[in-house]
Amino acid sequence: MAPSGGMPVWLEKLLAEKFFVPCEHHEGVKKNEKNILCLDCCLGFCSHCIPPHRAHRLLQIRRYVYHDVVRVEDLEKLIDMSLVQSYTTNSAKVAFLKQRTQNRPFRGTGNGCRSCDRPLQESYQYCSLSCKVKQLVMNEGDLLRNLRKCEYLPFSIDDDGHLTPDSILESTGPDDSASTASGCERDVTTGSLSVFPAAAADTPIPRRRPMTEPKFGSFRKRPRKMSRPNRSPMM
């Protein structure tokens, strides 16, 4: 489709679409979350809607720490992803689609996103695709130079109609730096996971031995044995 205001329509739709909500065409069906974008029709839909779009360019959106991500390998076919921080999970590099909210503003002296000031590694300038696109559209012609011509985008799907690999990449805490219930701790800038063993739920708790009476003697005071009173002799 022709660009709208300097930005391709598919890119506008990708950044504006709300994914991982129930598909309006397949309500009540299992695995009906909207996690696919057809770049030719500029429509978002679920895996049950694929048959009419099999010959189109389809982009799968995945879920990582409760945010929408896309594999860098797929995005690189569409737009230059250099300087956008990526995260490695499930043996694949992914990048966030949209800017994420921050609990506290960045006040450090280190490297930060040029758009939202989110802390980053030194080699990156953007925390998400949307942050890079926002900066590119501010300079006339920059976005067009970063777009790539893609006529074919391979899409993985098995014989049962299921996406491969799974759409959910991680099930972790609500924020990058939060410790998770599965025993993982995430680093904000590197995106790496530090795994530590979680305690088993059925681990027996050691019990203290009961106190026993000492073999010799006791600290208790024993009652005195009452002696029989001596009577005076009868006269």
pLDDT at 154: 75
Burial class (CB in 10 A: 0-12, 13-18, 19+), 155: middle
Q: Which residue has the higher pLDDT, 60 or 183?
A: 60
pLDDT at 193: 36
Band of pLDDT at residue 155, cut at 50, 70 and 90: confident
User: In angstroms, what CA-CA distances link 169 with 4, 29, 108?
Assistant: 32, 22, 30
Distance CA 134, CA 201 (A): 47
8 Å CB contact between 143 and 6: yes
Q: Which residue has the higher pLDDT, 191 or 122?
A: 122
Q: Is residue 170 predicted with pLDDT exceeding 80?
A: no
What amino acid is encoded at 222 in this protein? R
What b/e sequence results for 133-143 when a residue is b if at least 16 CB atoms lie within 10 Å of its CB, and e otherwise? bbbbeeeeeeb
pLDDT at 157: 58
The overall average pLDDT reported for the chain is 76
Domain ranges across the chain:
9-161
**Closest listed residue to residue 191, CA positions, set 86, 83, 96:** 86
Contacts of 157 (CB under 8 A, 6+ apart): 47, 50, 163, 164
Residue showing tokens 């300079």: 139
Q: Is residue 160 predicted with pLDDT exceeding 80?
A: no
Across 30-34, 60-64, 177-181, 216-220, least confident range: 177-181
List the strands of the sheet with 43-45, edge to edge.
43-45, 36-38, 58-60
Residue 88, classed as helix, strand or coil, is strand
Across 8-22, 24-38, 135-149, 175-189, least confident range: 175-189
User: Could you tell me the sign of the dihedral formed by the alpha carbons of 211, 212, 213, 216, in that order?
Assistant: negative
Angle, CA of 166, 83 and 190, to the nearest 5°: 60
pLDDT at 163: 55
Q: Which residue has the higher pLDDT, 140 or 86?
A: 86
pLDDT at 90: 83
**Closest listed residue to residue 20, CA positions, set 52, 74, 60:** 60
Across 23-27, 51-55, 224-228, least confident range: 224-228
8 Å CB contact between 45 and 17: no
Most confident among 121-130, 194-203, 211-220 (mean pLDDT): 121-130
Instruction: Report residue 49 as tokens.
Output: 């809607």
